[in-house]
């Protein structure tokens, strides 16, 4: 089962187990990671699942994710990701995501 590390705003590192096929936002909200809200339910609209990729490699954002980051996220950076658009897969390892502040 893929394990993702989320770093909350106060610096707390939380290791979260994700089920393959679910989004990292779903895994994070289930685990109660502070700052990941998922207000739009994962439809790539609200940017309340915004994180910065600090370690590991992910496929690049699709166009809709990139647009939502550009127009709806606060303080977007090149390493920004919307975790509702990142699907957990077997073999995913070493992913560290810092929760973006609001």
CB nearer to ligand FES: give 7 or 83. 83
The most distant pair of C-alpha atoms in the chain lies apart, rounded to whole Å, by 33
Instruction: Choose among 78, 31, 22, 29: nearest CA to 49.
Output: 29
Dist. CA 35–CA 76, nearest whole Å: 15
Helix (H), strand (E) at residue 14: strand 13-17
CB nearer to ligand FES: give 48 or 80. 48
Q: How far is the CB of 72 from ligand FES (least distance, A)?
A: 7
Q: How far is the CB of 76 from ligand FES (least distance, A)?
A: 12
Residues interacting with ligand FES, by CB under 6 A?
25, 38-40, 42, 44-49, 68, 82, 84
CB nearer to ligand FES: give 29 or 92. 29
Unique residue bearing structure tokens 């610096």: 11
- Indicate the residue whose CB is closest to ligand FES: 84
């Amino acid at each position: 089962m893929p394990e993702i590390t989320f770093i909350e705003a106060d610096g707390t590192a939380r290791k979260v187990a994700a089920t393959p096929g679910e989004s990292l936002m779903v895994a994070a909200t289930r685990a109660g990671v502070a700052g990941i809200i998922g207000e739009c339910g994962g439809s790539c609209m609200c940017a309340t699942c915004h994180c910065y990729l600090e370690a590991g490699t992910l496929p690049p954002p699709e166009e809709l994710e990139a647009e939502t980051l550009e127009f709806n996220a606060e303080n977007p950076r090149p390493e920004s990701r919307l975790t509702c658009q990142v699907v957990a897969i077997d073999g995913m390892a070493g992913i560290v995501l810092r929760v973006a502040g609001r």
